[in-house]
Structure 1
């Protein structure tokens, strides 16, 4: 604890010193006054900016450089005009460039933000926290994002709006028409909106803004200027209906005798998405039988620690506006709402001893979902999401030829409700959330919770122009069901109530519910000057359970942390921007065990030539893990030290590279990590870009968990030395025929090998010396016969216990080829070809042999689909 105290003292000393030396500069807020088109004809969107209506207002200019040389005049200046009619907002930009030949006109699909671009951000709510962003690239590519939490940009938002651009002798121009139905604003007769405009000057990788900003501002939307002069407009109740139809063909290798694997399957289906403006502030999104066939596949991954792997949500309905429902409680991904639980893979496998063939759905069918969200003029954010997933069955054929249907997932209703109320001139908010997952239970799925509820309260307060903040949350969960389901939760790796050395938890096989709590608290400095800091912590009680509709990796955990950063925002002769950081973190469990302490120092620099580098070092003098032995005693890892170094070339260049390494080693070579990554990107044409990333990871360990066995009435925890290697490569090809017609390819082979040797067992799980922690089996104690290891630990000539060969190799190839055509704004046609190979390789083989024998020699599964959508705007 002495080291923790000393470092905390240094952090606080640095914080005090930083506050004493900083001088904050309050920049003057700008305003722009627009006017209505009136009797004049509204502008035609052609990029020319020549219509008489544009002469009603003056240009506004005087953009100021934001990055890299904050507060100075930009290399090239920009002008902006804004006018409106009763249905639309019109925005014009004139981006000066002395040599138009240097304008970078790279193509890309929507939200790629390629080359030179200019954008406008609109805070039509006037709440200093949320906004709408519209970006125009010089090549005509559109970008649009919803801004939440004063700076989180969500590019899944896809409104209908119109854009055209032109190159001229002065540079380039952009002209936008933004329907008012795509914005949200009050019914006040005279509106005051927040606005900001940013231009990217590609040649110098420079950002300039209309409203001047300090370097590293305390927020984004809160720093906007004002748009004045909008009078008499009426909020538009949005009504959009988008039906779709999908034709799909799956082909795969035929399996002789298996009627479920005859070589091909076909499907024709349809569904509907709708967006309905209930009021001018609140929108109802509805999806019926949604299809996500064009969504990228998840990357390859293998976990040996027993925990669930977290994958990002990629489905459009759940991704759009997801920030409204976000409720983090600390940890990497811990959240009360994890939308991938909706439509998850069925949780029951009906495979039994007499099963010959089985046809089980890959995912649970989402019958429908509705999402009600928005923000009122009084600063109340509301979000309600409800979804129903179908009862799913697997078709089963037994060895005697009998056929049956087996329930693998029950009918389930999911509900999430979220509110946040702004106050204190939008500098503070308080909010709450409630979630529920209610299943229509059946005996076959009695291992699942019948009901799962969670709720929480959160708050944040900013003061002194958002320089300082304090935030926190408190949550509670309750799960109910059969004694079987609650016992399953108690003994799951998230909880492990059966841990043999834990006195504060115990397994009760008669319980029918669990109730847990959690929370977090943090205060810090988020703006002003060159110093930032944060001090906080979070906790999750042993009975906290969120995994029916949320994500929780590990309960029974208390963590504290402190972070101090120094920003170097003023460019020098050798860098554009840089930062240094130092941090510490520690953790305990609810029994008071001191499990972990970690110290880290790191830094980032963007060099003068626009290359970049990041370096850091971490020291972990104390590492105890409650979950390593899967219910056994706390396990101690030897002290660990690691360093990381990543760097990259100028990403604007036609050919650019990045790469790096992580090098970790623990005391007595308990375990090591040697990770190498290299990425290359090549843009031979404005319309074509290619990228390739290769990752190799070698993570040997002397103590990888294998299994638990019984030795003379005593638990025996069997470990082994492991040589673990991972190799993956990710290829992406993007070809943009024009901004509305693109071809994208994604492909990733993934290989994982695990080879065991030097088996051992746990002696003293928390001994500081590795030689006292474990004992190696000698050759006379262990032998390998017919795919299993036989252990005669007491050397009496009889096998005391045995375990299977843990060696394995996993191989996978996933690819996706998507042609996307937005034939009119908001309406699309997708042509998709997906291909996949998954199998088990031979860990004795080299990577090259595995590729030849397990990947290239297998017949892949192919999916071909055509999806067409049409968006009706009513």
Structure 2
């Protein structure tokens, strides 16, 4: 392992030295002055307010794609103006269009953009070229917003409170926006200077423009911000808001009906213009989207995306380094009770209840980001009944627990950062406690052509009066030369690395060496608008004890032609085979998987058309008789009009003659040869009444079966010996059925009413190769969950409420 650590530091040293040698690139930054509004403009999309008559104009937009750097088409000029007062920033934009009847204006739900022309404001209160608020308004009046950073890209889980209005005109369309200061972060200063840029998409032409030119040859989008001057001597109001909620549920399951009513509140307080406190009191996540569960036969747990808004919004600091997996909070209990032969569960809660959660985050004037997150979950107990006596005993499956994340993130030189992240979980009593700390470096030269990155993380777990320490680290570089990009990385993780209390660990005890090359068209050529080719080579080894794991060559090609037909394919090859150190579920053992090759192709028709179809086919052929895997997917969408669309996805996978773990005893590890099929069928449709109201139907049925043909014992060299002693039935069929019918109404900014009907069923059968009819009969004989819920949230701004009382 010492050799790998020396390689890590060599990567960092060479990269750091190279990054210091470059001279600063001169990037032109346009400037625009904001004017103070004595009277706030009406946010209705009609640009006749007094403030807009003499305000400076941001114009002369530059094409971003497909012809990067070309001056804007005179038929599609864009003009933008900015104003401000003590409550927020105002923006007006006029998008000229010689054929306004062709402007894309499909209605969608908030944060979704369909067949739409749209305008985007990028605004960065720190002017550090590393983060911005990204505020979209479509020509249909739909809002979308995200926080965008150089490290994490766009995060649409954030939902801000801001105002917009649009108007379709005889010569184009116009938009007005107001962004309250309570949604922005900026340092305290008499004269503000903010980063700003404006973006316009003309959907039917698939052409995009920006005000300040964004060079697609190098660097991130945010590096090319313009400058907003003129915001001076603002007296920002108190940043305090409340989001109370009310929810009610009616549940029907297995012949029983239950009801419950909940209430609680989220609170947001601006400690100052740069730092904000968010807290949720008595949270309720009953209307979170369902998880796409699958039949998981692998050695690692399935990882789900976060569906709860509080854990999604404003967490860009806490997600650095991928050490925080918020699904651990309020997830499964950490202990599963052991039952005696004469015992059964009377009740065993699958989820731990969250008491409250709080986060504080912001950034200083000198670029230091500080984040603090804390959550407390309640004690959870299982009720266990003695079958003979009926006596009930209690067993704690999760004690009172505290979850904590602390982040320091220093940005410097407009494109570089160093971060420290610490996570900890403390549980009452003799339950497991854990702590993890990581340091991350991202250093880019001033010409934005070369970057070096690295990290080191440690984990500590305290359980049964014992301590376990684990380590992981990485180092790498990327270099850009016009349309060419090169990179290399080394990554290692020892066998004891464990962040599963508040993170997600996955594979351990390995080192990976990788190198990659990417080529892309910077400008359209011939009949091709975009082309991207990449090749990546990976060499994986087991760390303890050293063992070859696999060698992988992975190629991919993507092309979009002038008619916006997107297609491509690729090839992955493992020419030597794989020593799988995880499938045996035993340290020091491995399962040999023969060499394989995996070609695939994909295609997608023009997104702008009413009917769109796409999909892919991939094929895995192993150097073993009849061992083949086939996976395909087809997805379709039909847009009936600007209000109604329907989507369908069908995925099929067939794994023939694969091998996998089935069990072990004191002397043997048993491997089974199996046939596995899965089908996932999902349908969604949306009818949008207007930009504030929609109804959605989402359906998913997932089916997977596994049938075993032969069992083996695993030899020390990874090969298999036929076995006739293993007698357990491992065949199985898994079904997951979910249907959601949701009505949503954004009746005021930040305020929403949601009515949801949910139907769920799930089963696992210890048989396989059932007919489709028999399988569905058995599924629908299972008890199904039927749930109706109503949730109302109302955004209450302290300053508005204060004015109400003054009027009274």
Q: Report the counterpart of residue 369 of structure 2 in structure 1.
A: 381
- Which residue number corresponds to residue 848 of structure 1? 772
Provide the residue aligned with 1:661 in structure 2: 617
Counterpart residue number, 1:270: 263
State the Cα distance separating 1:391 from its structure 2 match: 0.3
Q: Distance in 2 between matches of 1:119 and 1:83?
A: 16
Matching residue of 1:523? 477
| Residue of structure 2 equivalent to 1:633 | 589
Query: Which residue of 2 is the match for residue 479 of structure 1?
Result: 461
Within 5 A, what are the aligned runs for 1:342-357?
Answer: 342-350=329-337, 352=339, 353-357=341-345
String of CA shifts for 1:657-686, please: whole Å, max 9, x gaps.
110011011112474320010001111021
CA distance in 2, matches of 1:847, 1:577: 46
CA shift at 1:216, angstroms? 5.0
Extract unaligned runs of 5+ from structure 1. Answer: 1-23, 255-262, 329-334, 443-447, 484-511, 767-772, 783-790, 792-801
Q: Does 1:739 align with 2:691?
A: yes
Instruction: Give the 3-state SS of the residue equivalent to 1:106 in structure 2.
Output: coil
Distance 2:263 2:40 in 1: 38
Is this contact kept in 1: 2:686–2:694, CA < 8 A?
yes
| Larger mean Cα displacement after TM superposition, 667-676 or 574-583 | 667-676
Contact preservation (8 Å) 1:569, 1:576: no
Contact between 2:483 and 2:519, CA under 8 Å: does it hold in 1? yes
Query: 1:129 is matched with which residue?
Result: 130
Distance 2:242 2:540 in 1: 50
Residue 813 of structure 1 deviates from its aligned partner by 0.2
Q: Which runs of 5+ in 2 are unaligned?
A: 1-23, 799-808
Q: Following TM superposition, by how much is the alpha carbon of 1:394 offset from its aligned partner in structure 2, in angstroms?
A: 2.5
Q: In structure 2, what is the equivalent of residue 501 of structure 1? A: none
Structure 1: how far apart are the matches of 2:532 and 2:522? 8
Matches within 5 A, 1:534-613: 534-590=487-543, 591-613=545-567
Contact 1:336 1:549 in 2 (8 A): yes
Aligned partners of 1:387 and 1:414 also within 8 Å: yes
- The SS at the match of 1:140 is coil
- 1:394 matched to 2:348? The reply is no
- Cα distance in 1 between the residues matched to 2:159 and 2:772: 43
Question: Cα gap change, 1:602/1:529 in structure 2, threshold over 3 Å: closer, same or farther?
Answer: same
> Is structure 2 residue 43 aligned with structure 1 residue 45?
yes
Give TM-score, length-normalised by structure 2: 0.92
Question: Are positions 1:86 and 2:86 aligned together?
Answer: yes
Q: Indicate if the aligned counterparts of 1:707 and 1:803 stay in contact, CA closer than 8 A.
A: no
Q: Does 1:619 align with 2:573?
A: yes
Shift of 1:564: 0.5
Shift of 1:319: 0.9
- Does residue 415 of structure 1 match 2:370? no
Residues 179-223 of structure 1, C-alpha deviations (whole Å, 9 max, x = no match)? 122111122111111111111101111111111112254112221
Partner of 1:749: 701
SS of 1:56's equivalent?
coil
* 3-state SS, counterpart of residue 340 of structure 1: helix
Q: Structure 1 stretches (4+) deviating beyond 4 angstroms?
A: 24-27
Question: Partners of 2:783 and 2:171 in 1: how far apart?
Answer: 57
Post-superposition CA distance 1:243-271 (Å, at most 9, x none): 112111110123xxxxxxxx122111111
1:786-805 mapped onto 2 (5 Å cutoff): 791=725, 802-805=726-729
Q: 2:358 aligns with which of 345, 370, 374?
A: 370
Q: Match of 1:157?
A: 158
Q: Which residue of 2 aligns with 1:61?
A: 59
Select 2:753's aligned residue among 819, 822, 829.
Answer: 829
Residue 796 of structure 1 corresponds to which residue in structure 2? none
What pairs up with 1:235-274 in 2 under 5 angstroms? 235-254=236-255, 263-274=256-267
Q: Which residue of 2 aligns with 1:866?
A: 790
Q: Deviation of residue 857 (structure 1)? A: 4.2
Distance 1:561 1:244 in 2: 49
The alignment status of 1:317 with 2:306, answered yes or no, reads no
Question: For the residues of structure 1 that align with 2:783 and 2:123, how far apart are their CA atoms?
Answer: 52
Q: Is the 8 A contact 2:707 2:769 kept in 1?
A: no
Give the 5 Å matches for 1:761-840. 761-763=713-715, 765-766=717-718, 773-777=719-723, 782=724, 791=725, 802-840=726-764
Which residue of the partner structure matches residue 95 of structure 1?
95
Between 604-613 and 319-328, report the one with greater CA deviation. Answer: 319-328
> Which residue number in structure 2 is paired with residue 509 of structure 1?
none
**Structure 1 residues 276 and 303, CA gap change in structure 2 (3 angstroms):** same
> 2: CA distance between counterparts of 1:852 and 1:458?
50
Deviations 1:767-810 (A, max 9, x none): xxxxxx22334xxxx4xxxxxxxx2xxxxxxxxxx431000001
Match of 2:346 among 355, 358, 367: 358
Q: Distance in 2 between matches of 1:824 and 1:464?
A: 45
- Identify the residue that residue 716 of structure 1 maps to in structure 2: 668
Which deviates more, 73-82 or 379-388? Answer: 73-82
1:395-431 Cα distance to aligned partner (Å, 9 max, x none):
33332322333322111100000011122x3332221
* Whole-angstrom distance in 2 between the partners of 1:34 and 1:150: 29
Paired residue for 1:499? none
TM-score, normalised via structure 1 length: 0.85
Mapped partners of 1:401, 1:468: distance in 2 = 70
Name the CA distance, whole Å, in 2 between partners of 1:427 and 1:271.
41
The answer for the alignment partner of 2:280 in structure 1 is 287
1:516–1:545 contact (8 Å) kept in structure 2: yes
Equivalents in 1 of 2:534, 2:776: separation in Å? Answer: 46
1:872 and 1:528, CA in 2 relative to 1: closer, same or farther beyond 3 A?
farther
In the superposition, relative to structure 1, how do residues 850 and 324 fare at CA in structure 2: closer, same or farther (>3 Å)? farther
Residue equivalent to 2:32:
32
